Amino acid sequence: MPKTPNLPIPTSPFSNDQRSDHNAALPTPQDGLDWRLLSLVLVTPDCIERGLQEQALDKLRENVFLSCITNIIATEEQIMRHFSNLLSHEASLSWPGVDIASELKRLYVGREVCIGIAFACGEMFDGPDAPDTATLVQHLIGHEDPAQADPSTVRGKLGRDSIATALHQRRLVESVIHSSASPAAAAREFGIWLEPLGMNVQTWTAP
């Protein structure tokens, strides 16, 4: 996976109180749902078990609004759907000798994950050529290999693993945090994680 290109980081349009309100409702687009404005964030079990969940989320809150934060126990169905791209033949070529399905079960199934929605807006997000929130959040969390992530990113600050070490041990890397790769992925991941909990995608509030 290539690195996310460098992007200017916008000044958040929200106050510190708004950014820290886990239960606040997100703005509702006037002309239908625009998934370019959204990204789903998943804090991994290794990060939570190390007591670093809030540090990871606070790093994102410096630049994006977070809402619908919830901690749940991941099921096998959710994990296999969320990481379905890793189960492809093409992905397996990047992880030689690794039983990817078994590793996903080991790392996630039956363990606590934290799910939330990231929302960004401002002048840089206006217009047809504006970057989407998914791209911005991927930039903020950093390179998929924590050992190569910039120290200013979530993975660069909190990561302790590397792909090289993981491959040597024939396992998947502990990535600290994940986020949607695209607006389409954000829509799909919302359905996997938040709709089963009763989150209302049309009004951006939990019932």
Residue 14: pLDDT above 60? no
Sign of CA pseudo-dihedral 55, 150, 40, 77: negative
Average predicted confidence (pLDDT) for the chain: 82
pLDDT for 15: 34
pLDDT for 198: 82
Weakest mean pLDDT among 30-39, 147-156, 170-179, 193-202? 30-39
Residue 16: pLDDT above 60? no
Residue 207: pLDDT above 70? no
What's CA 96's distance to the chain center, in Å?
25
Structure tokens at 71: 């901690």
pLDDT for 10: 36
Query: How many alpha carbons lie under 13 Å from residue 190 in its C-beta half-sphere?
Result: 22
- Dist. CA 187–CA 182, nearest whole Å: 9
Q: How would CATH label the architecture of 34-197?
A: 2-Layer Sandwich (3.30)
Residue 37: pLDDT above 60? yes
pLDDT for 180: 97
- Dist. CA 198–CA 21, nearest whole Å: 19
Domains of the chain by residue range:
34-197
Weakest mean pLDDT among 13-27, 43-57, 122-136, 140-154? 13-27
Mean pLDDT of 39-62: 97
Please tell me the pTM assigned to this model.
0.81
For 168-194, b where at least 16 C-beta lie within 10 A, e where not — what string?
A: eeebbbbbbbbbbbebebbebbbebbb
Structure tokens at 13: 């349009």
Q: Are 186 and 135 in contact (CB under 8 A)?
A: no
65 vs 122, residue with greater confidence: 65
The 10s digit of each residue's pLDDT in 153-197 is 999 999 999 999 999 999 999 999 999 999 999 999 999 999 888
Residue 94: pLDDT above 80? yes
